[in-house]
Amino acid sequence: MSTKLPLSGIRVANFGWGWLGPVAGQTLSRLGAEVYKIESYVRVDINRTIPPFATGHEKDVNCSIQNHAAWSGNGSVTINLKKPEGQQLARELAGQCDLVLENFGPGVMNKLNLDYEQLKAINPNCLLISAPAAGLIGALKNIRTYGMSLSSITGLDSITGYKGGPPIPMENAYADPLGGIICAFAAVLALNYHKRNGGGQHIDLSQQEGVMQLMGPSFMDYEFNGRIAEPRSNLHPQDAAAPHGVFPCTGDDRWISIAVANDKEWAGLVSAMESPAWAVDGKFSSMDGRLENIDELHKNLSAWTGSKNDYALTELLQKAGVAAAPVLNIADLLSDPHYKARETFVEVEHPLGFKETVYGNYVKTHHADSPLATGPVMGQDNESVFKGLMKMPESQYEQLVADKVIF
Amino acid sequence: MAIAALKGVRVVELGEGVSAAFCSKMFGDYGAEIIKVEKPAVGDITRHWGPFPEDKPHPEKSGTFFTLNTNKQSVTLNLESAEGRELFISLIKTADVLIENNTPKQMKEWGLNYEALEKHAPNLIMISITPYGQTGPYANWKAYDLNAFHMTGAGSRYCGRQGEAPLEHGTHSADYYGAYVAATWGLASVFAQDEVGGEHIDVSCAESVAATFVGGQNIGGYAQDGVFGSRTGIGMPLAAPATILPCKDGHVWMLALETAQWRGLVNAMGNPEWAQLEMFDDMFTRAQNSDLIYTMMNEWTMAHTKQEIMDMCQDNNCPSTAVYNIQDAAEHQHMKDRNYVVELEHPLIGRVRDIGAPVRIPDCPGGPTTAAPLLGQDNDAVFLQRLSLSETEYQNLLSAGVI
């Protein structure tokens, strides 16, 4: 059986920036592709400046350990795209790649002379994936968002919050890593297209449309019944389970999630609670009754969980056939036995002489493991790409470095 | 018109709920043939979830089932019976891809785990999407989307007020996320199947979110420095404005970080005197005075609609956005310009709109073209033609409740 990764031999020029673009490149790299992020000291990518930095490397753009997990797997070449010679160089590099990724606003690639027509003139098989916030066409095409607020134009923020209250923001950009994965999905889809049809394609991927898939069930309720979904705490999105929520446990900010989808699971929960009077009350015996009285149900359940340890209670409830799990915080991610067993987070040795923790192979495959990398150092692949892949003579390379074209 | 990107790819889905169904939908949107295997008489659990037209429950009219199962065929098989499992294996022998979301224990009990199926179909790409994955101490825990989501740190770190319960989005957020991951890995394996052969792809919804979302910007710093943050309910506590504020007809995501964005916002607000202070040019200083700033901004936002605020801000290079509800988002002119929403014909529901494909390829756009299947509607075609059962065998299996 082969141990080859599915995208080995595929080369990617990644003009993506921020969080989304590099995650797209990382995803393809973990599938075996050779990925080069194109960036420059002329305007350092904002995510390289996010603290904390590796100890002793404060404000070093190669040492934002906060960001490295999200970027690892991307190579890096530095090209100054403000100069025509830089644009020429980038076109030539893109011409030697199977896939080109970018997540600028519409029109930026044109200004850089890196638009699809120019790329296709060099490589007729160019597969360009453009992933702006709301796509390349349409009334909102020029909208400016951060990943954190992108979800607000999909409807996702409007259904997040406590029941009866205002929308509460997810305090980081869920839409960014998810969008990066969707961008990688678009890229492998394009490869499948190419395999069947040959030739190039320019894919207009709207981040908004990708993330809005999560609104499918809410859309159907609007379509069928004109109902507009609102924040609903942790209740089941279609009211198909009760109890369904997060309940307090002992300790500072400790919680357990519990979801009961049928009467058999409810019986398990009741027996785990040792059948308190309130729980054997007739009004909670059917799903309809539990849904109808869910506030009271959750209040009673909270009173019971409140004196228990989250992990111990999870064990008890799992034994009773109830879907329960501890609610983890950041520290728990590194100590939880499940993530440890799956090597979700791993320590790697950075070439600049420090150790950093990144996420490992969060997707496991039977036949081949993906390579793990550190966050890329700016320009780490300049020599191999320009002198090796592009066969640039040493003298020309030195000149372009001196002219700050390779920069 | 070019050949669809996944034309000829034969997928079998053995899924319940959201994750497997959405993953195989991502194949079906681009031309793969999807056979969904459901429990006889009952079908996929989402058939019972709704929403239903006029809120009247009907197993063929669930909106959640509909949107997750366009472009699919449906067959029924009872996997509790030996004949049912044999038929399933026959079906797998005619397939390229299996997408499933059962517990590893269940698949093994059925004799349908990868090691077993690989013997029958060495080139099979099996995609397993479960809350916690195929290995590790929680692999066989009973779990739903909510449990998986809160195992990621996302709620505790990023969503909800201090002292109150951590929150998930009001949708099956971890399931969708894991399904997108699985579809990406799956399509890569399909691309390389001729050369590389079969594969078992093990996706944990919890692990996908924990790694790429939460781990992506927390784990490096925590591992080194041992400190971590948790939710505030505000937005971005260290910079301002970065929060959701109420306005005349809903809410707006007020965001202005760089100085130019702040100046743009001040301009959009009509240059009020309070905002002229030079110290407010710094986003961190603004955050230290966020109570004041949010109160003053709120006076302005309450006087305008979400769309007005978004337009005024965007015109001034400030990236604030309206918090669209599902109606705002789906009915927006932008979506019409892009033909995002599609219309399909369902035999019992009639004409119904659905969300379109997330990615469109210009030469063969893809997207939903046929409505979600009725339970078992393709039994005849699949069992009689594709698996070549005789009419007698077929009738016997039907009356025995295997099909």
Strand pairing report for B33-38 and B72-76: parallel
Tell me the CA distances in angstroms from B385 to A355, B311, B399, one per residue in order. Answer: 59, 57, 19
Alpha helices for A60-107 (secondary structure H): 65-71, 84-95
Residues of chain A contacting residue B358, judged by C-beta atoms under 8 Å apart: 182, 185, 205, 209-210, 212-213
Least confident of A147-151, A381-385, B250-254, B313-317: A147-151
Whether B247 has its CB under 8 Å from any CB of chain A: the answer is: no
Tell me the ipTM for this assembly.
0.98
| Mutate which: B146, B257, B364, vs A, most A CBs within 10 A | B146
Residue B369 C-alpha, separation from nearest chain A C-alpha, in angstroms: 16
Option in B157, B181, B324 nearest A153 (CB)? B324
Q: Do B362 and A69 touch (CB under 8 A)?
A: no
* pLDDT, position A368: 83
Residues of chain B contacting residue A170, judged by C-beta atoms under 8 Å apart: 154, 158-159, 169
Query: A371 or A166: which carries more pLDDT confidence?
Result: A166
Give residue for tokens 């030996």.
B82
Residues of chain B contacting residue A65, judged by C-beta atoms under 8 Å apart: 220-221, 223-224
Classify burial at A311, counting beta carbons within 10 Å of its beta carbon; exposed 0-12, middle 13-18, buried 19 or more: middle
The pair of structure tokens assigned to B272 is: 């009020």
* pLDDT, position A147: 80
Residue B276 C-alpha, separation from nearest chain A C-alpha, in angstroms: 24
Residues 359-388 of B with CB under 8 A from A: 359-364
pLDDT tens per residue, range A294-323? 999 999 999 999 999 999 999 999 999 999
pLDDT tens per residue, range A165-175? 999 999 999 99
Whether B353 has its CB under 8 Å from any CB of chain A: the answer is: yes
Reply yes or no on domain B242-324 having CATH 1.20.1440.60.
no
Tell me the CA distances in angstroms from B189 to A6, A191, A390, one per residue in order. Answer: 5, 11, 29
pLDDT tens per residue, range A214-255? 999 999 999 999 999 999 999 999 999 999 999 999 999 999
Query: Do B44 and B15 form a contact (C-beta atoms < 8 A)?
Result: yes
What percentage of residues in chain A have a pLDDT greater than 90?
94
Residue A316 C-alpha, separation from nearest chain B C-alpha, in angstroms: 12
CA pair distance B226, A176, nearest whole angstrom: 25
The pair of structure tokens assigned to B226 is: 């041992």
* pLDDT, position B140: 97
What percentage of residues in chain B have a pLDDT greater than 70?
100
**What's the average model confidence in pLDDT over A359-380?**
93
CA pair distance B383, B394, nearest whole angstrom: 7
Tell me the CA distances in angstroms from B329 to A150, A229, B171, B317, B318, one per residue in order. Answer: 12, 12, 16, 21, 20
pLDDT tens per residue, range B327-336? 999 999 999 9
CA pair distance A253, A330, nearest whole angstrom: 12
Whether B49 has its CB under 8 Å from any CB of chain A: the answer is: yes
Alpha helices for B153-301 (secondary structure H): 154-158, 173-191, 193-196, 205-209, 219-225, 259-268, 283-288, 290-301
Residues of chain B contacting residue A337, judged by C-beta atoms under 8 Å apart: 136-137
pLDDT tens per residue, range A30-48? 999 999 999 999 999 999 9
Residue A382 C-alpha, separation from nearest chain B C-alpha, in angstroms: 26
Whether B53 has its CB under 8 Å from any CB of chain A: the answer is: yes
Query: What proportions of chain A, in percent to the nearest 5, are helix, strand and coil?
Result: 45, 15, 45
What percentage of residues in chain A have a pLDDT greater than 70?
100
Task: Please indicate whether the domains covering B10-213+339-399 and B242-324 agree at the CATH topology level.
Answer: no
Residue B384 C-alpha, separation from nearest chain A C-alpha, in angstroms: 30
Superfamily of domain A11-205+342-402: Crotonobetainyl-coa:carnitine coa-transferase; domain 1 (3.40.50.10540)
Mean pLDDT of chain B: 96
Residue B117 has pLDDT above 90, yes or no: yes
Query: A121 or A4: which carries more pLDDT confidence?
Result: A121
**What's the average model confidence in pLDDT over B80-103?**
97
Residue A317 C-alpha, separation from nearest chain B C-alpha, in angstroms: 9
Whether B65 has its CB under 8 Å from any CB of chain A: the answer is: no
Residues of chain B contacting residue A369, judged by C-beta atoms under 8 Å apart: none
| Mutate which: A145, A338, A340, vs B, most B CBs within 10 A | A338
The pair of structure tokens assigned to A7 is: 């995208």
CA pair distance B189, B362, nearest whole angstrom: 23
Option in B185, B215, B358 nearest A31 (CB)? B185
Q: Do B137 and A341 touch (CB under 8 A)?
A: yes
Residues of chain A contacting residue B205, judged by C-beta atoms under 8 Å apart: none
Option in B149, B223, B338 nearest A138 (CB)? B338
Residue A101 CB-half CA count within 13 A = 37
CA pair distance A406, A345, nearest whole angstrom: 34
Option in B52, B182, B202 nearest A224 (CB)? B52
Q: Do B114 and A366 touch (CB under 8 A)?
A: yes
Query: Do A274 and A265 form a contact (C-beta atoms < 8 A)?
Result: no
Superfamily of domain A244-248+255-326: formyl-coa transferase, domain 3 (3.30.1540.10)
Strand pairing report for B125-130 and A127-130: unpaired
Instruction: State the amino acid at position A162 in one-letter form.
Output: Y
The pair of structure tokens assigned to A91 is: 């076109």
Query: Do A234 and A161 form a contact (C-beta atoms < 8 A)?
Result: no
* pLDDT, position A2: 56
Please provide the DSSP assignment of B116-158 as one string. Answer: HHHHH-TT-EEEEEESS-SSSTTTTS---HHHHHHTTTHHHHH
Strand pairing report for A354-359 and B33-38: unpaired
Residues of chain B contacting residue A219, judged by C-beta atoms under 8 Å apart: 67, 326, 330, 353-355
Option in B165, B188, B328 nearest A31 (CB)? B188
* pLDDT, position A182: 98
Residues of chain B contacting residue A339, judged by C-beta atoms under 8 Å apart: 136, 207, 210
**What's the average model confidence in pLDDT over B33-41?**
97
Residues of chain B contacting residue A57, judged by C-beta atoms under 8 Å apart: none
CA pair distance B403, B75, nearest whole angstrom: 8
Residue A24 has pLDDT above 60, yes or no: yes
Residue A1 has pLDDT above 50, yes or no: no
Taking the domains of chain A in order of start, what are their residue ranges? 11-205+342-402, 244-248+255-326
What percentage of residues in chain B have a pLDDT greater than 90?
96
Superfamily of domain B10-213+339-399: Crotonobetainyl-coa:carnitine coa-transferase; domain 1 (3.40.50.10540)
Residue B277 C-alpha, separation from nearest chain A C-alpha, in angstroms: 26
pLDDT tens per residue, range A198-216? 999 999 999 999 999 999 9
Q: Do A223 and B255 touch (CB under 8 A)?
A: no
Whether B389 has its CB under 8 Å from any CB of chain A: the answer is: no
Query: How big is the A-B interface in CB pairs under 8 Å?
Result: 522
Label residue B237 by pLDDT band (50, 70, 90): confident
The pair of structure tokens assigned to B276 is: 């002229």
**What's the average model confidence in pLDDT over A284-299?**
97
Which among B217, B201, B221 has a CA at the least distance from the CA of B209?
Answer: B217
Option in A225, A357, A363 nearest B219 (CB)? A357
Tell me the CA distances in angstroms from B337 to A134, A137, A141, B86, B330, one per residue in order. Answer: 11, 8, 10, 49, 12
Taking the domains of chain B in order of start, what are their residue ranges? 10-213+339-399, 242-324
3-class state of residue A224 by DSSP: helix
Q: Do A225 and B55 touch (CB under 8 A)?
A: yes
Identify the DSSP state of B214: I
Phi/psi of residue B255, nearest 5 degrees: -140, 120
**What's the average model confidence in pLDDT over B111-135?**
98
Phi/psi of residue B145, nearest 5 degrees: -50, -45
Residues of chain A contacting residue B239, judged by C-beta atoms under 8 Å apart: none
Whether B198 has its CB under 8 Å from any CB of chain A: the answer is: yes
Whether B138 has its CB under 8 Å from any CB of chain A: the answer is: yes
